[in-house]
Structure 1
Amino acid sequence: MKRRDFVGLTGLAAGALFLPSIPGFGHGLLVDPAQLLEPGLDVAQKKRLADAGLNAAKAAGATYADVRIGRYLNQGIFTREKQVQNILSSESFGVGVRVIANGTWGFAATNDVSDAGLAKAAQLAVAIAKANSKVQKVQVQLAPQKGFGEVSWKAPIQQNAFEVPIKQKVDLLLAANAAALDNGANFVNSALFQVNEQKYFASTDGSYIDQDIQRIWPTFSVTAIDKASGKFRSRQSLSVPMGLGYEYLTPKAADKIAGPAGSDVIGYKNSYDILEDATRAAKQVKEKLTAKSVTPGKYDLVLDPHHLGLTIHESVGHPLELDRVLGYEANFAGTSFATLAWKAKGLPYGSKQMNIVADKLQPGSLGAVGWDDEGVKTKEWNLIEQGKLVNYEKIRDQAAMVGQKESDGCCYSQSWEDVQFQRMPNVSLKPGAAKLSVDEMVSKIDKGIYIAGNGSFSIDQQRYNFQFGGQVFYAIEKGKITGMLEDVAYQANTQEFWGSLAATCDQSDYRFAGFFNDGKGQPSQSSAVSHGSATSRFNAVNVINTGRKLG
């Protein structure tokens, strides 16, 4: 991180510390916002530069090479109560060259985006590969991949968020803050993140792929204080980061999905009403101050998609990354209990209601692209069918390791200066086939808890034993929501939890959860991923009280 980036970031006041790490700003220079609207290189220029790199790599002895020319644009707007805290815009531009020489990978990157710069980076990548080959025991075996020629993909956005005046975006955030304050909140922070990845990929397989990817994430945190007791409670937004443009912040009634009657929870599909959510959040944090503390025990859980996405991410998405399964990767999320030997035994991952699909295709999802970062066309494939593990997430140099002939198209790099590697695609729980509403699901529960929003969690190094919290919790008694609860978390292991999956609502309730900055690797990289699901029921799950006094 450059010094001026650090100075800019530390301008965020302590009240904004709830915000996650800012995606992208560690990989770019702070710029005037107007620079984000300037056009980059045209496709012909990119192809000429890419060929300079590919030709230099082959001349130096590479048997395979790919070139990624990347322009990465980011903007973050941060507010607190009635003032703007910070506005940060950044741009990063450069090239990464990856090669195979002597059966070994080599990689080099440069911000000298010229014929000479690319040739030099390619030559360095080959030299690194040859040096690495002296200690390489097994040669890289790439799954075959046809070239696609000159093709392109662009996110199907309606309004480029970078083209929207900053004042308009600031006014929206401040209006959300005002809505929270007017409804009883004492403190509120809000932020809007926008990302544009302009990526060009070329390889010796014969692909020249130009892609334009957009992402957006509005978010906030609302806090209420009981001055008499000194207690405080908070609730974060129920927004979902999406692969959409600014149209996401134009709410549509059809995109709103109500939680069960009595819960005062609203979920959102392809558009988001930040004013409504901030208003509800303020009312809910006041209610949380006097809510009953949960009594530990076994409960049937009804989990909202915004909450369930995190559980899917940690207990399914990460453990099925093949590099973790094979023991090549353990950073941030550990390895995996779901080894090849475990899979061979045919052990159940969950109940027959558990059907998990992986993809990088779903429109509006964070992971949606046409091709991954090693030129593989994206697709959909099954990971778990009726509770049985049937496949993993893999890339070109992993396929042969599990006896398969093609990549799944889930290779990704966070920037031009980082090497691409296996990352989680969108991983989603299929909705139920039979028509089932959330209210119908709740009506069949005698003793349960409805949970919306994701909170703190912990999970062990093999993605097996875990504990999850949430944002808001409601007691279910004899088929009805009876009031808000506090101090709720549930504990289980992955097989036990997914084995308790009893029902999933139908497609009409299906929506995304998502994460803007999923970390992995060393040096660490960040990627964005979505998880789709409908509201789901899990029977007899162990619920604990998270430590505050009961009653």
Structure 2
Amino acid sequence: MQEKLEKLLQFLKSKGARYADIRYEEHVRQELFVENGVLKSFSNSVDVGTGIRVLYENGWGFAATDERSESALEKTALKALEIAIASNKRANRQVQLAPEPVHKAAFKSPVMKDPFLVSEDEKIEILKMATLKMKENPKVVRATGSMNFRKVNKLFLNTEGSLISQEIYITGAGIEANAVGEGGFQKRSYPASFGGDHATRGWEFVEDMKLLEHAPKVAEEAVMLLDAPEIEPGEYDVIISGNQLALQIHESCGHPSELDRVMGSELSFAGGSFLSLDKLGKLKYGSEHVSITADATVPGGLGSFGFDDEGVKAQKSYIVRNGLFVGYLMDRQTAAELGLRSNGAARADSWSHPPIIRMTNINLLPGKYTLEELIAGIDYGFLLDTNKSWSIDDLRLNFQFATEIAYEIKGGKLTGRIFKNPVYYDITPNFWNKCDGVANESFWHVWGVPNCGKGQPMQVMHVGHGASPARFRKVKVGVKR
């Protein structure tokens, strides 16, 4: 296949292409879903194809095929070239690509146990037992568990001479209990909501979750929430748990730092960004405790890889440093417009789509406190845990997040009392400037978000967010009725 693709690049150059790259990818997937001890779905699939991207003068073209014959590949390459030529006729700006060294390299996810070699029966049994443990509580009407595995093999070539192969594993799992009573409906999830947690690791990641051990507490808290009170609306000091903070980072830090949004190319669908170019290096995005990086090199992070889908080497760069906004997520074209090198954020969700600017691992760097010290610094407030819902405007400024549970803090200690349906809301820079402490590395974890949607046609991307619990002062919590 490599020889075929190398010939294809030479063919495109002979037809006048300024630049071209090709991605040949194989995606192997396995997905399991269990409800109340019964296997509801189990699927295995394989998806193979080639995506070809061409730059002709100042016009881009892209085409893809699932066929592998030389004639089919050449036909697809010509289609991509024709689209690029047509696009060039409507081009309104000169396209430059930020320089990138030629790479001859290979990358493989750090996997200890290949999840595809673990028996299907073992996977099903774990989910069955976990859901049945949750169902032992009579008020739990629905208990679910899921596992998802993917193995991606990529071969990347471009006309600059790069040749890169990558083998990336993705593993995810989670459980959820739904309880119903006179107090309505409540749910609790573990280790996070919306399918649990995900990483570029192997079966050992599922083992580390200890789903069976946590199942009883998940069910117990779901039932306890039925009769729990709601928080009286007001301003409170809060600690936001790592799994909730991951989504907060995603929505109010990751998306607005995507440079294509800033430059307007996502306005018609996913929206723009308040982080306009005049704010770079000037905006006080957060307090001095807030440093946020884009880091595709974190071992096991769901947004980790060796090279992005433009052949740019994975790297770590700052978006916010000690509260100051200092950087964007970029591809080679947008980076060139700022006179910078790409920080490796061009990604496609499969061979059938072109790469666009996407998050990698967008991480809030750990601080110096223990969780106990953060709690001790609150006279009265709450620890907010596990996302339930969210809403944010198209510039990523005004947001509202709901969590599954709130734990009361009084006199610097957790009281054991819980509250249901907690909601907090704010404006992005105001919120991050209220942060006065982040827990240290021992509490830091890279949470996987496997369902980030962006682009037209829609692409669903796997991204990660490293976070420790963090403390925020005088946050608006609760809903006035």
TM-score range, shorter chain: over 0.9
Q: Of the candidates 409, 434, 439, which is equivalent to residue 344 of structure 2?
A: 409
1:416-459 deviation line (CA, Å, top 9, x unaligned): 11111111121101111x3x211121112111110111120100
Structure 2 matches for 1:196-211, cutoff 5 A?
196-211=151-166
State the SS of the aligned residue for 1:167. helix
Give the conservation status (yes or no) of the 8 Å contact 1:190–1:220. yes
1:337-393 deviation line (CA, Å, top 9, x unaligned): 11012336x231111111111111101101111111011101001110111101101
Q: Counterpart amino acid of 2:347?
A: Y
Q: Of the candidates 51, 62, 69, which is equivalent to residue 6 of structure 2?
A: 51
State the SS of the aligned residue for 2:91. coil
Alpha carbons of 1:332 and 1:528: their partners in 2 closer, same or farther (altered >3 Å)? Answer: farther
Alpha carbons of 1:546 and 1:413: their partners in 2 closer, same or farther (altered >3 Å)? Answer: farther
Give the conservation status (yes or no) of the 8 Å contact 1:331–1:521. no
State the SS of the aligned residue for 2:271. coil
Distance in 1, matches of 2:270 and 2:54, equals 28
- Number of matched pairs: 475
Give the conservation status (yes or no) of the 8 Å contact 2:172–2:206. no
Structure 2 matches for 1:310-389, cutoff 5 A?
310-330=247-267, 333-343=270-280, 346-389=282-325
Give the conservation status (yes or no) of the 8 Å contact 1:52–1:119. no
Give the conservation status (yes or no) of the 8 Å contact 2:404–2:420. no
Q: Hey, what does 1:487 align to over in structure 2?
A: 421
Structure 2 matches for 1:225-304, cutoff 5 A?
225-226=180-181, 229=182, 231-238=184-191, 239-250=196-207, 271-304=208-241
Alpha carbons of 1:174 and 1:331: their partners in 2 closer, same or farther (altered >3 Å)? Answer: farther
State the SS of the aligned residue for 2:280. helix
Q: Hey, what does 1:15 align to over in structure 2?
A: none
Q: Of the candidates 333, 341, 355, which is equivalent to residue 420 of structure 1?
A: 355
Distance in 2, matches of 1:447 and 1:47, equals 63
- Structure 1 residue 145, shift from structure 2 partner: 1.7
1:114-150 deviation line (CA, Å, top 9, x unaligned): 222222211221121111111112121111122113x
Q: Of the candidates 12, 20, 34, which is equivalent to residue 79 of structure 1?
A: 34
Q: Counterpart amino acid of 1:240?
A: D
Q: Of the candidates 172, 179, 182, which is equivalent to residue 217 of structure 1?
A: 172
Structure 1's consecutive aligned runs of 4 or more residues displaced over 4 angstroms after TM superposition are none
Identity of aligned residues (%): 35
State the SS of the aligned residue for 1:398. helix
Give the conservation status (yes or no) of the 8 Å contact 1:331–1:520. no
TM-score normalised according to structure 1 size:
0.84
Give the conservation status (yes or no) of the 8 Å contact 1:53–1:121. no
Distance in 2, matches of 1:506 and 1:330, equals 37
Q: Of the candidates 444, 451, 470, which is equivalent to residue 517 of structure 1?
A: 451
Give the conservation status (yes or no) of the 8 Å contact 1:307–1:453. yes
Does 1:162 pair with 2:116? Answer: yes
State the SS of the aligned residue for 1:318. helix
Does 1:459 pair with 2:392? Answer: yes
State the SS of the aligned residue for 1:138. coil
Give the conservation status (yes or no) of the 8 Å contact 1:156–1:244. yes
Q: Hey, what does 2:336 align to over in structure 1?
A: 400
- Structure 1 residue 525, shift from structure 2 partner: 0.2
Q: Which 5+ residue runs of structure 1 have no aligned equivalent?
A: 1-45, 251-270
Q: Of the candidates 175, 180, 188, which is equivalent to residue 134 of structure 2?
A: 180
Q: Hey, what does 1:124 align to over in structure 2?
A: 79
Structure 2 matches for 1:4-153, cutoff 5 A?
46-149=1-104, 151-153=105-107
Distance in 2, matches of 1:332 and 1:275, equals 41
Distance in 2, matches of 1:455 and 1:402, equals 38
Give the conservation status (yes or no) of the 8 Å contact 2:403–2:421. no
State the SS of the aligned residue for 2:301. coil
Q: Compute the RMSD of aligned alpha carbons.
A: 1.4
Q: Counterpart amino acid of 1:479?
A: G
TM-score normalised according to structure 2 size:
0.96
Distance in 2, matches of 1:223 and 1:455, equals 12
Distance in 1, matches of 2:302 and 2:480, equals 32
Distance in 2, matches of 1:49 and 1:213, equals 23
- Structure 1 residue 290, shift from structure 2 partner: 1.6
Give the conservation status (yes or no) of the 8 Å contact 2:59–2:88. yes
Alpha carbons of 1:81 and 1:355: their partners in 2 closer, same or farther (altered >3 Å)? Answer: same
Distance in 1, matches of 2:5 and 2:456, equals 27
State the SS of the aligned residue for 2:128. helix
1:474-522 deviation line (CA, Å, top 9, x unaligned): 1111111121011211010001100100001111111122211100001
